[in-house]
Each structure stands twice: as C-alpha cells, then as structure tokens.
Amino acid sequence: MAFVEYNPHPDGKRIDDCTIRALTKVLNKDWEQIYIELAFQGYLMRLMPDSKSAWGAYLFNRGFTQEIVPNTCPDCYTVSQFCEDYPQGTYVLATNNHVVAVDSGNYFDTWDSGDEPIVYVWRKEG
C-alpha cells in the first residue's frame, strides 16, 4: 500500500478536480475526456457534473458497483487502511469532501489523503 502522487490535469494545476482526477485513473481516460463526459452526465441529470449522484451514475454505467462502509466506526476507516485491506482491484473512494482512486492497493492523488476517513466505495467489476 502506498501513496502515489498523481495529477493528470493538462496544465498541472492543483484545483478542485478530485473527481475528474480519480476517474481518469480508474477508467484510463484523459482529463479532458472525463470532464466532458461528466459535464454531459450532469446535464442529463440536471445536476452539477461533480455531484455525487452524477459521477455515481457515470461509474455505474461503466461497470462499477457502490458499497457503503459499515457505520461501526464512521471516522476511523481511512483510505490507507482500505488499501491495506484490499491490495487487489480498482476502486474509487469517497470521503465527506474528497474522491480518490485506488488501484492494486495504491492510492493516487495530488496529496497524501491516506488519513481521510472513507464513506463509501465504488468497485470496478471484473
């Protein structure tokens, strides 16, 4: 399990684009393509592109399933702990205010978000 610095923004900007960044990693698409596809998903649903409902529908339509993190310890199951428990597979983790990509036990982000408690998980099927 390791943090891997990852910023696919075409201009290298560090902006509020965590959803787009995470989806580029798990779907192997470039930043512009994810941005446009999420904008269209948001338009179809009459939501902002980075709303949880819009990007959740986007992932669902691409073979991901959502799993809720058990509420036995709502503030203690972190990104890094998840990666230790799930060293295989591709996931998108949602915290209260952030989205991060996980692949093969590593988490990809512009900053070390390993201590962030997760709320729910999208798992790539297959």
pLDDT digits (tens, 9 = 90+) for 22-77: 999 999 999 999 999 999 999 999 999 989 999 999 999 999 999 988 777 767 89
Q: How far is the C-alpha of 75 from the C-alpha of 78, rounded, in Å?
A: 8
Give the three-class secondary structure for 100: strand
pTM of the model: 0.94
Residue 57, H or E segment:
helix 52-60
pLDDT digits (tens, 9 = 90+) for 38-49: 999 999 999 999
Q: What percent of the chain has pLDDT over 70?
A: 99
Q: Are the CB atoms for 49 and 58 separated by under 8 Å?
A: no
Sequence-distant (≥ 6) Cβ neighbours of residue 123 within 8 angstroms: 64, 65, 66, 67, 89, 90, 91
